[in-house]
Structure 1
């Protein structure tokens, strides 16, 4: 992910820029396990070299950050993140003003979602055509250019960025005091208005985060179906009470079994992942056969000469080198010899025997993407929604190094392990997420009306099958 931030824009000298870039490039090339998974070495070398050649004069931290962000995006790994220095970020949160409009991207069109300015001519649901000097198609291209995400799933990148689009605009495009926005009004006529930038507290007011169960089960009578919503693959806590994911999951399937339902809908939309073992646990309720979820876990290197620029202590680093045992496949690939995530997984007890449907979208990611891919490949469910953000063949995550560049203090998250799902390679699917059998995407009107079109479609599908 990109962590948006902007601050007092300190200027870096050429030697400072080159030193930071050497560390940045060095640790990515040395340790990032997925650096050449979706972009070839030649493509990455070209991207690195272009930036290196541009470091021939002093530049602000913001300008330098933008160049580095274009490279992290080029890796096409959703777990690789980059953040500005803390002083720069502090300036954004405390002093800067943002565009007073939150947006939604639907089928490559941009719509107003909220407008907190005094000028309410731009209303939720109005299609935005242009912001200042940039048309929407150019804005979407920039969102893809700077934003990391797995493989070639561009629409998932845009979906992630839209959540903090006012930050994105400030960090990558401009920091104007006013925003000239051209849009289509209710009568579908072009209209242009000028909105003043507003403080962060007004654009995105702080809201108390409500703790909710990460697993939720409900039953629908007509048609008779169980709906299991999994919000995250983690244990959780509400108040003082702690909940264990696997225990709650077991209780839910016991209730499903007692209810004697023939149809189960598993909703993993907007689930950004979590513990790999918990993804396996859910998958295990859909099959009686033992399985290997991952066929391998791969590292690029066993050690790095850039450890001193990371937040990893010397002791932790030594333990990392001692504890992890590898088989060397070649000079740049080390296969982890053993890990719980590669063990044969089998759950005692019967699996669900009815018809399974899985709801997915462009925010089904990481462990969720792996669960969806394995369940899809084994034909254990019918998938409804939009393509997942998590790659079909796994992801690069965990064992992360957090790097702080010595001069700019820009931080970079470098994942060290490439998880490969236990799925035979199909070139047509490489770089894609799990693609649903039934593509169902809400319109902007559906979003504003909070209409769950994917669930509605699935219930109608079940009814149709039952009446045959």
Structure 2
């Protein structure tokens, strides 16, 4: 059985076939070991799926190099393995595709089991700077573990070894590690560490402070104080109020003091389910800025991992004067992958309504978000535009920044985006269960190119003015961009 779920401009296919076969089996047992034939069968299935249907398999990794990684992985399948070891082996080779939308997840049974296990989390968050680990926020009982303290080793493992091992197990676009590092900084450090090393109640650290003094410590997690027993006096929020609060966290408009005629539009997500709300919001924002005679607009896309391309296009319609493109093409090598049996749904996503055969033998995604777009006639923003990006700016958000800069003079601030300047693999994304182990391969089907005519291969959208927050700024939530001299936001370039 296969199920499809339409999500905004994209379609997510979920293959329940192999998952359904496993539905009646016992929950995950950490003692389970898969035989060599089972491991080989699932790996062969995964490799065939990638080679047949992935639209950008050799975009960043040449075929001979990827074949070598595949062959080395196959040779390593020489003994029985549990799911954790097998996942680590396969995800490492999947990450070699250098596509942030292509990744391998644990089986549903493993994930359900894992959520019930005790987790010995680290008593700090991290900042990654120049391939080094630093404490960003101290959550331990040791007040000397200050933000900015460098982590030299964890349980005797050098920090560079730890970071390198983590990065190769996280998928990201191109050759940089901005997206992977953003995930580690945002909360995936603990889980990724556990996939490599033992989880323990406390961890011995070798740290170095700003004076160069080194010391060893084993900090304990600071437990939050118990909530008061008395009930809260606040009235519970209605569903509509909860939705409004969520949307307010995703986008906001402000007018910073000391920067006259300047507006900052913060968008943390192109949320799939809220297209009409975003369109209405954009209309009100640009009408308000016109009324206030705003001459400088800063669009803050830090941490925006993408979402609905239609939202990005709607925003571009206020920023570009002539016909434009967010995605100039979306191509796939096959009409319908052989490992995804069709015909059960007459309105399949892989039909001639959504996938068109092209003269060159490839197939194109026939979505309204691909190709030429027409701007709005009213409330076009004529002033100077700056866009703020970082490693968390990914997918539709990085495509927005790349395509806007390709079609209008803007200033890009911050850090290199996690999403590639050239575009991304996406459009339709499948979740495919491997038959034996039930590990789930997330597989995009279309190669979407941004409007950038000459992107630098394997790199993200690189800032004109690089601004990197320090670990102390991360801990205190100080905005490093807005601390810069006002002349930057006034668009001196």
TM-score, normalised to structure 1, is 0.87
Aligned-residue offset at 1:173: 2.9
Structure 1 counterpart SS, 2:61: coil
1:55 corresponds in structure 2 to 77
* CA distance in 1 between partners of 2:327 and 2:276 (Å): 26
1:365 corresponds in structure 2 to 394
Q: Is the 8 A contact 1:399 1:415 kept in 2?
A: yes
List alignment gaps of at least 5 residues for structure 2. Answer: 1-27, 227-236
Q: 1:464 to 1:248 in 2, by over 3 A?
A: closer
* CA distance in 1 between partners of 2:83 and 2:59 (Å): 29
- Farther-moved stretch of structure 1 (91-100 vs 393-402): 91-100
Q: Is the 8 A contact 2:179 2:392 kept in 1?
A: yes
2:414 corresponds in structure 1 to 385
Structure 2 counterpart SS, 1:416: strand
Q: Is the 8 A contact 1:359 1:385 kept in 2?
A: yes
2:299 corresponds in structure 1 to 266
Structure 2 counterpart SS, 1:285: coil
Q: 1:114 to 1:246 in 2, by over 3 A?
A: same
Give the alignment partner of residue 234 of structure 1, picking from 263, 266, 271.
Answer: 271
1:321 corresponds in structure 2 to 351
Q: Is the 8 A contact 2:101 2:425 kept in 1?
A: yes
TM-score, normalised to structure 2, is 0.83
Q: Determine whether 1:281 maps to 2:317.
A: no
Q: 1:118 to 1:151 in 2, by over 3 A?
A: same
Q: Is the 8 A contact 1:98 1:167 kept in 2?
A: no
Q: Determine whether 1:295 maps to 2:317.
A: no
1:169 corresponds in structure 2 to 193
Higher RCO (Cα < 8 Å, 6 or more apart) = 2
CA distances 1:6-60 after superposition (whole Å, capped 9, x unpaired): 9725211011101111111111111111111111111111111111111122111
* CA distance in 2 between partners of 1:330 and 1:42 (Å): 24
Q: 1:464 to 1:244 in 2, by over 3 A?
A: closer
Q: Determine whether 1:438 maps to 2:465.
A: yes
Q: Is the 8 A contact 2:173 2:419 kept in 1?
A: yes
- Farther-moved stretch of structure 1 (124-133 vs 168-177): 168-177
Q: 1:412 to 1:226 in 2, by over 3 A?
A: same
1:136 corresponds in structure 2 to 159
Structure 1 counterpart SS, 2:195: helix
* CA distance in 2 between partners of 1:273 and 1:295 (Å): 17
* CA distance in 1 between partners of 2:103 and 2:343 (Å): 20
CA distances 1:63-108 after superposition (whole Å, capped 9, x unpaired): 1111110111101111112211233223332224334233221332
Q: Is the 8 A contact 1:9 1:62 kept in 2?
A: no
Structure 2 counterpart SS, 1:146: coil
* CA distance in 1 between partners of 2:295 and 2:138 (Å): 45
Q: Is the 8 A contact 2:136 2:472 kept in 1?
A: no
Aligned-residue offset at 1:434: 0.8
Matches within 5 A, 1:3-402: 8-101=30-123, 102-117=125-140, 121-162=144-185, 163-176=187-200, 178-185=202-209, 188-194=212-218, 211-213=246-248, 214-224=250-260, 225-234=262-271, 244-307=277-340, 314-315=344-345, 318-328=348-358, 333-336=362-365, 339-402=368-431
Aligned-residue offset at 1:330: 5.7
Aligned-residue offset at 1:217: 0.9
RMSD: 2.8
Aligned-residue offset at 1:194: 3.0
- Farther-moved stretch of structure 1 (403-412 vs 214-223): 214-223
Q: Is the 8 A contact 1:359 1:455 kept in 2?
A: no
* CA distance in 2 between partners of 1:316 and 1:23 (Å): 26
1:423 corresponds in structure 2 to 452
Aligned-residue offset at 1:221: 4.2
Q: Determine whether 1:456 maps to 2:483.
A: yes
* CA distance in 1 between partners of 2:485 and 2:429 (Å): 38
Q: Is the 8 A contact 1:33 1:396 kept in 2?
A: yes
Structure 1 counterpart SS, 2:481: helix
Q: Is the 8 A contact 2:326 2:369 kept in 1?
A: no
Structure 2 counterpart SS, 1:244: helix
Structure 2 counterpart SS, 1:251: helix
* CA distance in 1 between partners of 2:276 and 2:356 (Å): 35
